[in-house]
Amino acid sequence: MENNIEELTGKNEEYIRSVTKQLMLIGKTDEEVKGILNEILPEIIEGQKNGILARKLLGAPTDFVHQYQPKTAVKKVNDKNEAAGLMWLDSALLFLGFISLLNGFTALLTSKEPVYRLVTTVLSAAVAGLVLYLMYRFFYRPKADGSRQQWNWKGFLATALAVLVWIGVTTFSNMLPESINLQVSAIVWIVIGALGLGARWLLKRQFNIQSALVAQPRK
């Protein structure tokens, strides 16, 4: 095996070191590690002759090692409810509650009308919930083995589009006449905010909803 390792390029050698470390972390013995490396080194060396890196052949070190992880050692990374509808509702209620309380206390303390009226706040909260969910879905949510999500153009475009929709909905709904887009009193804003946050707390307790604001752990 030593001779094979000497034939590796710098990046492939770094890959082998990372795989070795990951195998040791899941409890593989020195002999087991050597056996696994002896199996993959010829493939890696053959691949690098054609300019193909080990990562391209075998995947990220954590993904490759996952297949050797003992079944009893596999842990569920996230046992919370990740249903899209519930996560969207959780985020939307959080935004609605926060903005409504902010509107209410601002109006109460300054005697000025909030910038955004009722319909705008509700619609904006609904789309904000979607934006937060998409950010979690495509960027924050850890994979099954606990590793980080990879950069995803589809996820980026979907999130960017949702942000544009959020801006558009907020801007154009605020142009609605006040007979439709009502401006309510400070006390009503505070009640709406409290109800929004209270409903979110009850739903989270009932359905164990994953928060879209929780970032995945670094690896």
Where along the chain do its domains lie? 2-73, 84-207
Using pLDDT thresholds of 50, 70 and 90, give the confidence band for residue 1: low
99-135, pLDDT tens digit by residue?
999 999 988 888 778 778 999 999 999 999 999 999 8
- Cα angle: 133, vertex 135, 138; to 5 degrees: 105
Q: In the prediction, which pLDDT does 130 show? A: 93
Tokens of 59: 């995947």
φ, ψ of residue 138 to 5 degrees: the values are: -100, -15
3 has pLDDT over 60: no
Radius of gyration over every alpha carbon of the chain, rounded to an integer in angstroms: 25
Average pLDDT over residues 81-89: 90
In degrees, rounded to 5, the angle at the alpha carbon of residue 80 between the alpha carbons of residues 75 and 73 is 5
Contacts of 76 (CB under 8 A, 6+ apart): none
| pLDDT tens figures, 10-45 | 888 888 889 898 888 888 888 888 889 888 888 888
Rounded Cα gap, residues 50 and 43, in angstroms: 11
CA 176 – CA 200 distance, rounded (Å): 28
Predicted local distance difference test score (pLDDT) of residue 67: 85
The chain-wide mean pLDDT, for the chain, equals: 84
Range 1-9, long-range pairs (CB < 8 A, 24+ positions): 1/34, 1/37, 1/38, 1/41, 4/38, 4/41, 4/42, 4/45, 5/41, 7/45, 8/41, 8/44, 8/45, 8/48, 9/48, 9/53
Higher pLDDT, 118 or 2: 118
Whether 149 shows a pLDDT value over 80: the answer reads: no
